[in-house]
Structure 1
Amino acid sequence: MTVRIGISGWRYAPWRGVFYPPGLVQRRELEHASRCFPSIELNGSFYSLQSPDSYSAWHDATPADFVFAVKGPRYITHLRRLRDIDKPMANFLASGLLRLRPKLGPLLWQLPPNFKFDAGLLDGFLGALPRDTEAALALARRRDIGLMRGRSALAIDRNRPLRHAIEVRHPSFCEPAFIELLRRHRVALVIADTAGTWPYLEDVTADFLYLRLHGDAELYVSGYSDDALTRWAQRIRRWSEGGEPADAVRVGGRAPKLARRDVYCYFDNDMKVHAPFDAQVLMDKLSLPAPCPAREDVAPITRQV
């Protein structure tokens, strides 16, 4: 099994001199963060199409065994609301993410809070998602040529499987039909801790888990206590062993037990610089290498890079 604990994004001004060493130049922040965590959620792709050169640079700045999760565009999920998205999806897939090669991990699709469960619409969307990089490349070739001229990357080094996860924020998704739909399409339901702001479900719907920890007391702001991180470590360990916690919050039935499941977990409580340090503590509780200095050890660092 593979358990990857990481952070959502890496470029935050308040982190400089706190998580990042004083004097570290901005262009090397990813290089630093990717030596601390085995995975990072790339969220700039949510706000706008990135460039092939950017994806290539991100690939080259990170270690060989590093993995990016890539967040799908809000243009697809929030503006088009999953309708008439053939060209937007092709443009996204052509924009360079295939240049991440083996470092391309799960694709994250986040639906807006006012998006209600529509079984037919969601079934069509999930069924159209590419399940490997050859399928993604075939879709990418159907891009808007005018819009994407000079901004496309249409090549892969080899065929690799693709995974997808979906994060929902409307209570209408809290029903068994939604869980059954995800299991049929083998798409992971994001387990999202949002301080009670949006629905919380722990249904296992794929052969991997995708967790987003936004803060358990105040959304995007609060850090996690030692007890809370111990609890998350216990749950992650159980999921990675192919089972489920005895008190799992579910609206569907239990998932079939597997020998193992991969787990991806990202901290998104970045506003007060809690995310990287909470991630380090959780890694330690799971006996995963945590090579970066702890919060109390950061202040004396004066190394210039």
Structure 2
Amino acid sequence: MIYLGCAGWSISRTYAAQLAGEGSHLQRYARQLTAVEINSSFYRPHRPASYTRWAGAVPPGFRFSVKLPRAISHERRLVDCAQALAEFFAQCTALGSALGCVLVQLPPSLAFEPLLVERFMADVRKVYPGPVALEARHPSWAEAGPLMEQLQVALVGADPARFALDAQPRGWSGLAYWRLHGSPRTYFSDYPSTWLQALAPQLLARAEAGAATWCIFDNTAGDAALGDALELQTLLGN
């Protein structure tokens, strides 16, 4: 299974006809794509009832990725956050089986510190046994692959890449997670068809190797993300 979607499920007028039909934006979106990333959880908490409602709006195979709150990743910087983690997971695990992954995006200034990561993941595992993808943005994380494999944490492959090895998913081989922010204009630019054509076999190769394979378009400032996801879906033959 390849989990393909966008950072959010809003449907612009440009693609309304392709995602037509009855229901909410989420219901219409989930009939076409297989995953979505909830970014709003980074900024504010959501009630468990909201997560339950969203899970009830999508087909059985659809999956959500939920972004860890910035209070944990950016304000506490992964330190002394056991209580905050417990509160977050008490909310988002209301998705039930529709919770496919948790995304941890780190601030660009947060360097790789193995002991810090081990302590943080020990706190995470007390409340959540499922898949975790980590988007690091400091160059020192180029060295983090072996520890992430040991901790069963995937390192996000990002575009635009910020440092050596950043363009490809690394770390735990059981999960491959691409986050595509748009290039050359981050959050705005769409991807050329030739770029998507080169990406499609990479996703298929990871999925065929047994990895839970995610591809999330975060170029959502306009409507590029949804167009890119729909085009890539066609290239994958889904």
If each structure's helix is expressed as a fraction of its own residues, which one has the higher value? 2
SS of match in other structure, 1:266: strand
- Equivalence for 1:271: 221
Q: Does 1:233 align with 2:194?
A: no
Q: Does 1:120 align with 2:86?
A: no
Q: CA deviation at 1:21?
A: 4.9
- Equivalence for 1:8: 7
Aligned residues: CA RMSD: 2.1
SS of match in other structure, 2:42: helix
- Equivalence for 2:41: 45
- Looking at structure 2, the residues matched to 20 and 203 of structure 1 have their Cα atoms a distance apart, in angstroms, of 32
- Residue 172 of structure 1 aligns with an amino acid whose one-letter code is S
- Looking at structure 1, the residues matched to 151 and 42 of structure 2 have their Cα atoms a distance apart, in angstroms, of 23
Do the aligned residues in 1 keep the contact of 2:156 with 2:178 (CA within 8 Å)?
yes
- Looking at structure 2, the residues matched to 45 and 20 of structure 1 have their Cα atoms a distance apart, in angstroms, of 25
- Looking at structure 1, the residues matched to 101 and 108 of structure 2 have their Cα atoms a distance apart, in angstroms, of 22
- Looking at structure 2, the residues matched to 50 and 114 of structure 1 have their Cα atoms a distance apart, in angstroms, of 27
Do the aligned residues in 2 keep the contact of 1:127 with 1:185 (CA within 8 Å)?
no
Do the aligned residues in 1 keep the contact of 2:169 with 2:177 (CA within 8 Å)?
no
Q: Does 1:170 align with 2:138?
A: yes
Structural mapping, 1:189-200, within 5 Å: 189-194=155-160, 196-197=161-162, 200=166
- Looking at structure 2, the residues matched to 66 and 264 of structure 1 have their Cα atoms a distance apart, in angstroms, of 12
- Equivalence for 1:282: 232
Do the aligned residues in 1 keep the contact of 2:169 with 2:178 (CA within 8 Å)?
no
> Is the deviation greater in 30-39 or in 102-111?
30-39
SS of match in other structure, 1:280: helix
**From 108, 115, 118, the counterpart of 2:103:** 108
> In the superposition, relative to structure 1, how do residues 186 and 271 fare at CA in structure 2: closer, same or farther (>3 Å)?
same
Give the number of equivalent residue pairs.
234
Q: Show CA shifts across 1:149-175 (max 9, x none).
A: xxxxxxxxxxxx511110001112122
> In the superposition, relative to structure 1, how do residues 226 and 184 fare at CA in structure 2: closer, same or farther (>3 Å)?
same
Do the aligned residues in 2 keep the contact of 1:20 with 1:29 (CA within 8 Å)?
no
Query: Structure 2 length as normaliser, TM-score?
Result: 0.91
- Looking at structure 1, the residues matched to 99 and 87 of structure 2 have their Cα atoms a distance apart, in angstroms, of 17
Do the aligned residues in 1 keep the contact of 2:82 with 2:124 (CA within 8 Å)?
no
Query: Structure 1 length as normaliser, TM-score?
Result: 0.72
SS of match in other structure, 1:217: coil
Do the aligned residues in 1 keep the contact of 2:68 with 2:104 (CA within 8 Å)?
yes
- Equivalence for 1:257: none
Greater RCO structure (CA 8 Å; 6+ sep):
1
Q: CA deviation at 1:197?
A: 4.9
> In the superposition, relative to structure 1, how do residues 261 and 228 fare at CA in structure 2: closer, same or farther (>3 Å)?
same
- Equivalence for 2:94: 99
Q: CA deviation at 1:117?
A: 1.3
**From 114, 118, 127, the counterpart of 1:136:** 127
- Looking at structure 1, the residues matched to 201 and 59 of structure 2 have their Cα atoms a distance apart, in angstroms, of 28
Q: CA deviation at 1:262?
A: 1.9
Q: CA deviation at 1:123?
A: 1.6
If each structure's strand is expressed as a fraction of its own residues, which one has the higher value? 2
- Residue 46 of structure 2 aligns with an amino acid whose one-letter code is Q
Q: CA deviation at 1:204?
A: 3.0
Structure 2 unaligned residues grouped into runs of 5+:
none
Do the aligned residues in 1 keep the contact of 2:182 with 2:189 (CA within 8 Å)?
yes
SS of match in other structure, 2:73: helix
Q: Show CA shifts across 1:123-182 (max 9, x none).
A: 21123322xxxx537xxxxxxxxxxxxxxxxxxxxxxx511110001112122xx11110
- Residue 232 of structure 1 aligns with an amino acid whose one-letter code is L
| Identical positions, percent | 33
Do the aligned residues in 2 keep the contact of 1:179 with 1:203 (CA within 8 Å)?
no
